[in-house]
Structure 1
Amino acid sequence: MTTAAATAAHDGVTDAALSAVGLHRQYGRGTAAVQALRGVSVAFAPGTFTAVMGPSGSGKTTLLHCLAGMDRPTGGTVRWGRTEVSGLPERRLAELRRTRVGFVFQAFNLMPAMTVGQNVELPGRLAGRPPERAAVREALARVGLAGRERHRPGQLSGGQQQRVAIARALVSRPEVLFADEPTGALDRATGQEVLGLLRSGVDTDGRTCVMVTHDPVAAGYADRVLLLADGLLVDELTAPTAAQVAERLSRLGG
């Protein structure tokens, strides 16, 4: 997407679910400064699945964290819909994160002493708005874990634990779901099941999903792939095959 197109989306000319203009992120100062992002502009349409890829150190995880409000850009702006979030006070940003976006990570981040149901409820309880039990059961049923509310994470396989993490992310019905290497700790077959769940959320619920991955097969589930290198958005693929992603990524040294 050109900078002009991204800017248009960012300004509300189009109805982007998520957009960024001119994102910069610098870590450190002086001669030790590292430019993780160098002016990235991009927009994500509602109900689309985007994979973000690039070599190690390309800025893909930094981009995800800035888009998700987990890291503050040092320049540029981020909007969720038409709400600019990059300059919000931390408390207000935290409130919006709990209601408008969901997160799935490679490390499932489940509390081992809590039941599956309690883990799904946890973000809402921390926000003072615990979900109804029916909503928890529905979220678990959506990921194929109906009736597992009273199990502990240690009683589940890795793939099942990732399903719990997805249910936890979905229970608040977020507009945008961010996934950071969601299949990185899973075997191929289990990873494909998880990717199928993410894909279904886009196709069935109209959710917007943004996923960082290093795996061309995972990226093949996406509607488009953004390729980063040295903190810049350098290429974009639409409806790619895994082979096309792998070939293009190899040119970048990824």
Structure 2
Amino acid sequence: MNDHAVLLDGVTRTYGRGATEVTALRQVSVAFTSATFTAVMGPSGSGKSTLLQCGSGLDRPESGAVRVAGQDITRLPEKALAVLRRDRIGIIFQAFNLVPSLTAWQNVVLPTRLARRRPDADRVRELLARVGLEGREGHRPAQLSGGQQQRVAIARALLGRPAVLFADEPTGALDRATGHEVLALLREAVDRFGQTVVMVTHDPEAATWADAVLFLRDGQIVDTLARPSAEQISARLGGRR
């Protein structure tokens, strides 16, 4: 258990009822080992985002257990779960979730401030520079492009060096060069700081940065490839083995 940053054990999650019921995850069991980078792939509706939401404690399964650093988070009260997410889990959302009235700098340090800790100004400055936002620290979200807002969200998630970082399409709104920088940051978080990264992506090139690629279909894990090439990933997504 100590080697597993995140463990999903027999997790099932359904939405809707009766004729509209959809099973997003079906008895999924998977362990994400500490200090590894895993990409999660599959067609739309395969359960990728639901796996991320259950693994990060944003959603609770109907059955099964989710453990973060050995702790069963499916049984935690909401307040304790919120504290755990703040202190141990980083999340990069597709929708950015920035506060419109705050600057890029203020958005990055907000979780640290809420935890009543003093942010490392040098680290904030370094992260904003690494994601291509040097000189835009004082801009509010409305003054930034969608790609730039995503970079703020990425810097925010990385600032506290969380034990586990969940990323939902982190390079989807970025140009190729900036996306490369972001993936390098995620890879560095694993190799240099021992963080665990779980990334949902549709991009075979992005997935090659991972140690392993997990493939979902119809709410179930159907395959795992270790250090695959972009060609191997594309072939697997196309249904060829």
Give the alignment's TM-score, normalised by structure 1: 0.86
**Worse-matched range after superposition: 51-60 or 25-34:** 25-34
**Structure 2 residue 93 is the aligned partner of structure 1 residue 105:** yes
The separation in 1 between residues aligned to 2:136 and 2:70, in whole angstroms, is 38
1:56 aligns with 2:49: no
CA contact (8 A) 1:22 1:76 kept: yes
Q: Which amino acid aligns with 2:233?
A: V
Pairwise CA distance, 1:126: 3.7
1:70-99 Cα offsets, whole Å, 9 max, x none, are 010111001111111111111110000000
Inter-partner Cα distance in structure 1 for 2:80 and 2:235: 42
- Computed over aligned residues only, the root mean square deviation of the Cα atoms, in angstroms, reads 2.1
Counterparts of 2:141 and 2:18, CA distance in 1: 45
| Paired amino acid for 2:97 | N
1:150 aligns with 2:150: no
CA deviation vs aligned residue, 1:99-129 (integer Å, no higher than 9, x gap): 0010112332323331122111222334454
Q: Match for 2:99: what amino acid?
A: M
What is the one-letter code of the residue matched to 1:65?
Q
Q: Would you say the 8 A contact 1:177–1:207 is kept in 2?
A: yes
* Native 8 Å contact 1:159 1:191 kept in 2: no
Structure-2-length-normalised TM-score: 0.90
Q: Does 1:41 align with 2:41?
A: no
Name the structure 2 match of 1:169. 157
Deviates more, 1:59-68 or 1:182-191: 182-191
The match for 1:4 is none
Match of 1:24 in 2: 12
1:118 and 1:41 map into 2 onto residues whose CA distance is 38
User: Contact 2:163 / 2:195 at 8 angstroms: preserved in 1?
Assistant: yes
Alpha-carbon separation, structure 2, partners of 1:235 and 1:132: 41
The worse-fitting range, judged by mean Cα deviation, of 103-112 and 57-66 is 103-112
Equivalent residues of 1:112, 1:154 under 8 A apart: yes
Give 2:23's aligned amino acid: Q
Aligned AA for 1:182?
Answer: P
- Which residue identity does 2:6 align to in structure 1? L
Match of 1:223 among 201, 206, 211: 211
**Equivalence for 2:183:** 195
Match of 1:73 in 2: 61
Q: Is the 8 A contact 1:64 1:178 kept in 2?
A: yes
Post-superposition CA distance 1:111-159 (Å, at most 9, x none): 3331122111222334454635455345435546556533334454554
Give ranges in structure 2 of 5+ residues lacking alignment: none
What amino acid is the match of 2:65?
Answer: T
Q: Does 1:208 align with 2:232?
A: no
CA–CA distance in structure 1, aligned partners of residues 175 and 121 of structure 2? 31
CA contact (8 A) 2:112 2:119 kept: yes
Find the aligned partners of 2:5 and 2:105 in 1 and give their Cα distance. Answer: 29
Q: Distance in 1 between matches of 2:94 and 2:134?
A: 23
C-alpha contact (below 8 Å) 1:159/1:194 kept by paired residues: no
Q: Distance in 2 between matches of 1:168 and 1:245?
A: 30
Q: Using the alignment, how far apart are the partners of 1:193 and 1:157 within structure 2?
A: 17
Q: How does 1:65-144 map to 2 (within 5 A)?
A: 65-129=53-117, 131=119, 133=121, 136-137=124-125, 139-140=127-128, 143=131
Once residues 47 and 250 of structure 1 are traced to their aligned partners in structure 2, the CA distance between those partners, rounded to angstroms, is 30
Q: Secondary structure at the match of 1:236?
A: strand
Amino acid at match of 1:161: Q
1:23 Cα deviation after fit = 0.6
User: Identity rate of aligned residues, in percent?
Assistant: 63
